[in-house]
């Protein structure tokens, strides 16, 4: 399979910084996932080959990290924290609000492929609870109204 020139440039720059090829696995998987949207069988085979690993080695690592997925997700992956700090500051309400607004449940994807939703454990933003992460962006001190505005902005951006 062929990745973009941008992926190849990032991979070429990053790989020599690691003591073994295997150590570059997680960042390589993240780059590939950002580019393809998920870690398909083809991507797994390609990365295993490059890093001199078996496909099973790669799949084992993927299954360990919740941010890695072998299934297609929406363009915007909305991860709502319901761990203790967020729970005390309305995290569960935010999650329920997102479920209703997007019409999907935990690990669901909207039919237009724009949003996926996930309930997650602490994302390290406890001081600004309730918090959610959309792809690599954090959103904090959430209320249902604020979450509405955030989702509307992503919808606008994603359909332009």
Asked if 67 touches ligand FES (CB under 6 A), the answer is: no
User: Of these, 9, 45, 56, 84, which contacts ligand FES (CB under 6 A)?
Assistant: 84
Using the rule CB under 6 A, give the single segment among 44-52, 56-64, 100-108, 123-131 that binds ligand FES.
123-131
Nearer CB in complex with ligand FES: 30/123 = 123
User: In three state form, how does the secondary structure of 106-144 look?
Assistant: CCCECCCCCEEEEEECCCCCHHHCCCEEECCEEECCCCH
Our CB check for ligand FES shows the closer of 83 and 110 to be 83
Size of the site for ligand FES (CB under 6 A): 12
Among 15, 26, 30, 122, binds ligand FES (CB under 6 A): 122
Positive or negative torsion for Cα 118, 121, 123, 125: positive
Q: Among 32, 62, 81, 95, which residue sits at the site for ligand FES (rule: CB under 6 A)? A: 81
Least Å distance between CB 79 and ligand FES? 10
Task: Please measure the distance between the N-terminal and C-terminal CA atoms of the chain and give it in whole angstroms.
Answer: 29
Q: Which of 74, 84, 138 is nearest to 109 (CA)?
A: 74
Interface with ligand FES by CB under 6 A: which residues? 81, 83-86, 122-126, 129, 131
């Amino acid at each position: 399979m062929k990745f973009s020139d941008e992926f190849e440039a990032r991979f070429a720059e990053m790989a020599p910084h690691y003591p073994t090829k295997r150590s570059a696995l997680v960042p390589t998987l993240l780059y590939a996932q950002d580019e393809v949207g998920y870690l398909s069988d083809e991507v797994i085979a390609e990365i295993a080959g490059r890093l001199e690993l078996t496909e099973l080695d790669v799949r084992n690592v993927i299954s360990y990290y919740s941010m890695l997925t072998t299934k297609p997700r929406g363009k915007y992956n909305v991860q709502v924290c319901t761990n203790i700090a967020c729970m005390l500051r309305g995290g569960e309400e935010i999650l329920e609000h997102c479920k209703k607004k997007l019409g999907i449940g935990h690990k669901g994807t909207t039919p237009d492929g724009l949003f996926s939703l996930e309930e997650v454990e602490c994302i390290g933003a406890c001081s600004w609870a309730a918090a959610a992460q959309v792809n690599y962006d954090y959103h904090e001190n959430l209320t249902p109204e604020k979450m509405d505005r955030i989702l509307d902005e992503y919808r606008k951006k994603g359909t332009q």
